Structure 1
Amino acid sequence: MTAATTLRAIDLFSGPGGLTQGLKQAGFAVVGGVEQEPIACETYSRNHPETRLWQDDIRELEPSQVREELGLKRGELDLLAGCPPCQGFSSLRTRNGKQAVDDGRNDLVMQMASWAAEFQPKAILMENVPALARDYRMELLVQALEELGYPARSAYRVVDAQVYGVPQRRRRLVLIVARNGVIPITDFSYRRQTVRDAIGDLPHPGESGDHLHDLPERRSRKVREIIARIPKDGGSRRDLGDDQLECHKRLDGFYDIYGRMAWDGPAPTITSGCSNPSKGRFLHPEQDRAISLREAALLQSFPSTYWFSLKGGKEAAALMIGNALPPKLVEAHARAIRAHLDENSVPASGT
């Protein structure tokens, strides 16, 4: 296999396409994807029209059907990648890991093994929240992959996205396995990106012509006054002392709400509440507003021209952006996988 060879990948649980974008940036051709949510599908297809996307519940879609429609023999697929829905494993949903949450989406993790059994890909990449590492379903997945011939017992660990050039602190569980050899999960020496690097050059919202950046905010006068008094460049509501909203004075914890990002550091983890200052440290470093959806997408390392549907409104778009995989994080690991596959050609194993 040469460096010029086109490697084929499938993106399960595609969402708006952050995983696919990262794979493409690493040189993979993403030939298929699976996603259920209509708004996410619209976003994905707008940005990746060359990819065959199945809009379906993955539990109702037969992997054999997808493989046959793509014209792939077992063992021909280079990379099976996916990020199963992880809300049930999140630290907030699980009360900081102290109590498990019974969420039916958690069982979707095992779809990675089901699809691997059908496609027998040369490599598998899965990303998820760190809490999955402590969940019994991770052990079930590891066992299933081992039985399929993928040495998965020590093939996963938790990494921080900022190490890979993503301008935010974001811890992720990464699993990488291959049929032929071991692909180590390494900490790449990318230059650390800051909030200033990502969004420092953007014009004020309303002046850009970008549908994602120009969406107006709607805040009460009292909230606008509170935001204006929070110190610039990393300030917090705690700097206001007793001059806070009454509901904030009673809060025990969640000290980052109504906090500003700092220009010369990474952003906090971009979540589905990224457009709402009551959900975290999501205020602009110096302008008296929350970050825009475009700024949130840039802090997730999406390209500046990446299109997101607003058919579901601002909150639905924020949900897509906050739940997406940062493309630069995916790209780094996909490049390591590509280098391994370039050096270790594996023949197809079936029909």
Structure 2
Amino acid sequence: MKRTMKPKTSTHKRPTAIDLFSGCGGLSEGLKRAGFRVAAAVEIDPKALTTYRLNHPSVTLYENDIRQLDPEAVLADLGLERGELALLAGCPPCQGFSRLRTRNKAKSADDPRNDLVGDFLRFISVMYPKTIMMENVPALADDGRFARLCDSIKALGYSYVVNVLDAADYRVAQRRKRLILLASRVHEPKIAETRGDRLTVREALFGVGAPSATSDKLHALPERRSDAVRKLIAMIPKNGGSRTDLPVEYQLECHKKSNGFRDVYGRMAWDTVSPTITSGCINPSKGRFLHPSYNRTITLREASLLQGFPIDYRFDVSHGKEAIALMIGNALPPPFIAAHAKGLLLGINQSTLTIATRRSVTGGDE
């Protein structure tokens, strides 16, 4: 079992969380913003591990295939007993449940990543945390493995809520539909209230500046486009324009033959949210990823800001644009996670206060 262990401090006042399937750290970032102390994280991808370590150096990091990891050993490493963990959170890899893959149900059902939902349940059963958070793609709700997970946690004594939400309603500057499950055995969990004001692309990218005039290596990573593609991009109308706005003679032949995927070679608009940030966010042929004003796609720094990462979140540029784009596209938006984690933290604190009050009244005889 390979892990990076961090020195333990004597006391921790903040409730402890563990992040399974941590990726580059979006979930952990959100949990920390909500007030949790992330004690440990599990991830298998080497580049995601490097990025996580750059931004969360105090977390005990398990560099493991979670299927080979013993949850009892993790509890022992952290000095926790069964039932003491405040929050177990994670997003099992969701590519097998993605909308495009589930159009072919046979292949989707056979994707081995889908079975990692069962490992999430294995950790719940052993660790018996006070609360649980799981986030994933909406299609997971229709899979039998998710239904079994819900039935199992109910049998363990958890109350839970499930909903499909748009991250844009929680101050994330993009449309992003996600399924979220919140569960607790110490209070009745609730979905966080939505925010009435959506964060726009303009607000999220405010003050970033031009890639040519920055010391931010992530923001400055260059584009490589053919002259023909550069010319095409320059003709797309600013602030929300699309390839469909071009005269027919300038449209690509492949675009003329297809009515689908109409967002490709489209620009974002300044005063609304962006489309879902995916691993293709640096490629104009993958979606509406052109900058609202400049004749280029958004940069990786801009993509990370639209996901809700802080501007100083660190990525190792030696990993290459495609690998970093994959990490950012797969990440959980920290503001979305924080909004729901705050509710779980409030429930934990209230239950702790209630227990303490009862013990003071009864003299500890409970």
Q: TM-score, normalised by structure 1?
A: 0.94
Given candidates 189, 195, 199, the residue that maps to 1:193 is: 199
Instruction: Name 2:320's counterpart in structure 1.
Output: 313
C-alpha RMSD of the superposition: 1.7
Of 252, 257, 261, the residue aligned with 1:254 is 261
Aligned residue in 2 for 1:122: 130
1:94 Cα offset (Å): 1.8
Aligned twin of 2:212: 206
Letter in 2 for 1:80: L
Equivalent residue, structure 2, for 1:68: 76
Gaps of 5+ in 1: none
Distance 1:303 1:192, change over 3 A: same
Structure 1 CA distance, aligned partners of 2:137 and 2:244? 29
Q: Which amino acid in structure 1 is aligned with residue 117 of structure 2? A: V
Separation in 2, partners of 1:40, 1:165: 25
Rounded Cα–Cα distance in structure 2 between residues aligned with 1:167 and 1:268:
9
Aligned length: 342
Alignment of 1:23-38 (within 5 A): 23-38=31-46
Match of 2:66 in 1: 58
Q: Distance in 2 between matches of 1:23 and 1:74?
A: 21
Which residue in 1 is equivalent to 2:112?
104
- Measured in 1, the distance between the counterparts of 2:325 and 2:193 equals 29
Spell out the pairing of 1:138-177 with structure 2 (5 A cutoff). Answer: 138-152=146-160, 155-177=161-183
- How much does 1:101 deviate? 4.5
Q: What TM-score do you get using the length of structure 2 for normalisation? A: 0.90
Find the counterpart in structure 1 of residue 287 from structure 2: 280
Pick which of 43-52 and 310-319 moved more.
310-319
Whole-Å Cα distance in 1 between the matches of residues 162 and 264 of structure 2? 32
1:238-257 deviation line (CA, Å, top 9, x unaligned): 00141112222222300000
- 8 Å CA contact 1:97–1:131 kept in 2: the answer is no
| Greater C-alpha Rg | 2
User: Conserved in 1, the CA contact under 8 Å of 2:267 and 2:291?
Assistant: yes
Kept in 1: contact 2:158–2:185 (CA 8 A):
yes
Give per-residue Cα distances to partners, 1:111-167, cap 9 Å, x unaligned.
Answer: 221101111100000000111011111111112212222134xx1110110111001
1:185-229 Cα offsets, whole Å, 9 max, x none, are: 133325310000011322111211101100000001110010000
Secondary structure of the corresponding residue to residue 156 of structure 1: strand
SS in 2 for 1:145: helix
Is residue 91–residue 97 contact of structure 1 (8 Å, CA) maintained in 2?
no
For 1:175, the aligned partner's letter is L
**Which secondary structure does the structure 2 equivalent of 1:80 belong to?**
strand
Q: Secondary structure at the match of 2:220?
A: coil
CA drift of 1:312 comes to 2.7
Equivalents in 2 of 1:288, 1:7: separation in Å?
A: 47
The CA deviation string for residues 328-347 of structure 1, in whole angstroms up to 9 with x for no partner, is 00000011111111101298
For 1:70 and 1:315, how far apart are their aligned partners in 2?
35
Distance across 1 between alignment mates of 2:114 and 2:22:
16
Identity of aligned residues (%): 54
Q: Is there any run of 5+ residues in structure 2 with no aligned partner, and where?
A: 1-11, 356-366
Show the counterpart of 1:81: 89
Alpha-carbon distance in structure 1 between the residues aligned to 2:237 and 2:145: 44
Local SS of the residue matching 2:233:
helix
Structure number with higher helix proportion:
2
Match of 1:221 among 224, 227, 230: 227
- Cα pair 1:310 1:316 within 8 Å, conserved: no
